[in-house]
Amino acid sequence: MPTDSVQTDSVKTFDKLYIGGQWVPSTGSGSIDVINAATEQVMGRIPEGTADDVDRAVAAARDAFESWSQTDSSERSKFLQALADGLGARNQEIAETICGEVGMPMFLSQLVQAGLPTAVAGSYVAILDDFDFEEELGNSLVIKEPVGVVGCITPWNYPLHQIIAKVAPALAAGCTVVLKPSEVAPLNAFILAEIIDGIGLPAGVFNLVSGVGPVVGEAIAAHPDVDMVSFTGSTRAGKRVSELAAQTVKRVALELGGKSANILLDDLEGEDLEKAARAGVGSCYLNSGQTCTAFTRMLVPRDKHDQIVDILRDEVENVYTIGDPATGAGRLGPLISDAQRERVRGYIQKGIEEGATLVVGGPDQPEDLPTGYYVKPTVFAGVDNSMTIAQEEIFGPVLSVIPYDDEDDAVRIANDTVYGLSGGVWSADTDRAKRIARRIRTGQLEVNGGGFNALAPFGGYKQSGNGRELGTYGLEEFLQTKALQL
């Protein structure tokens, strides 16, 4: 076992940070407990990093940048392949760790929380092989070169995926990285650092400083030697990152909140309607609703509202069971923390108070699950888009069914939000669905349940952020453009 970690009584303790290619103590003396979402017991412990630790990490990244930025892309590609292989080799450990940290059931944790980061890391091997870093334009040679030292600040809901979605393309571009993972679900980031240490990435190219946002995150965002910050998290925190980064005019990429609309068009009938409605529940409840792209607003034809609500009730009551994620006892696991559970319960209560019809679920703790941060999967019917539950990101298993009058009304409601991250459109006519999708101001839309594509650009409009992740688009976020006039 690496010298940075100690396993005692099922509590995995990491007592060092990864800076400059070495495991080193924090300059502070604090530590942060990591809580298992299902048992409410301490499962891990990490250093509570300081601003001085950030200074050390940024200095190491700055020192490593000159050499790393000049490496051939084929050399960087080899490291990315080794990283993907290392992630794949520890799939089970990663899945179990994130299952505990976040509460996603094991079968999904293996596929999504562990499997997706491996695939994304590997995707940049092929992307680098085909990417042109130079082009001739008249008498100019246009060069794309790494932006510099990148600060990556990542969330807890898909912790390793969000890390890899930033770190892999940053490394591919030739940037060096200082990572601050979420202090709520950080153990997976330390596993990543162990893998990176094992593949021999040059010292200082990747650095890990754990800690809390107001200390470590703000130090990264404000640091004069950080050239770019890539942040995923709440819109409130993203605004703070932008404020701090503006003082040094550094580049900022933000992937923030969402309140995505899923439009079921009026031409759906019979099995097609039932399929769309049932799929919509899954699109809302993935990861117990702790998903920025969750389709939390289902927009339905007014004359089919009650029919669709009956389908949703049946789906939730008979399919979306909740239980211990480690044993696969339920389709849904707990929420991440007590604070998040209370937040979601508050929104459910608010929906009741504002007059929405509670179809299934509610704010009470499930009777058979007294321990764990569980929230009953909840559906509200007859929701008006002006209600709090239709306007604010809840980040829990809460679906709002909103009736609309016609196609234009559906588009108006879908766009009536400060967010613009994702959404869906279902129709018996695919061309009609695509026409509607073009009118929705979001970064991604699923047409008739189209699947996730790890090579397609991911990011938002409006207060869902700026910039794009994944695929070639994600690589280009970490590149500057220079013109040599010849």
Active site residues: 255, 292
**Cβ neighbours of 349 (radius 10 Å):** 12
What span, in angstroms and rounded, lies between the C-alpha atoms of 170 and 154? 14
What span, in angstroms and rounded, lies between the C-alpha atoms of 272 and 448? 10
Find the DSSP H helices in 303-462.
305-318, 338-353, 388-391, 407-415, 430-439
Q: Beta strands 261-264 and 423-426: pairing type?
A: parallel
In the chain, the amino acid numbered 445 is: L
> Residues 303, 403: contact at Cβ < 8 Å?
no
Q: What angle do CA 456, 233, 372 make, to 5 degrees?
A: 110
Q: Beta strands 140-146 and 134-137: pairing type?
A: antiparallel
Tokens 């009956």 sit on residue: 310
Four-CA torsion 155, 161, 166, 169, nearest 10 degrees = 180
Between the alpha carbon of residue 197 and those of residues 17, 86, 183, 203, 205, the distances in Å are 12, 11, 21, 9, 11
Both tokens of 37, joined, read 């979402």
Sign of CA dihedral 286, 287, 293, 294: positive
Phi-psi group of 78: left, alpha or beta (phi > 0 → left; psi -120 to 50 → alpha; rest → beta): alpha
DSSP letter for each residue of 261-280: EEEE-TT--HHHHHHHHHHH
In the chain, the amino acid numbered 121 is: A
> Residues 297, 402: contact at Cβ < 8 Å?
yes
- Partners of residue 153 on adjacent β-strands: 180, 231
What span, in angstroms and rounded, lies between the C-alpha atoms of 458 and 128? 19
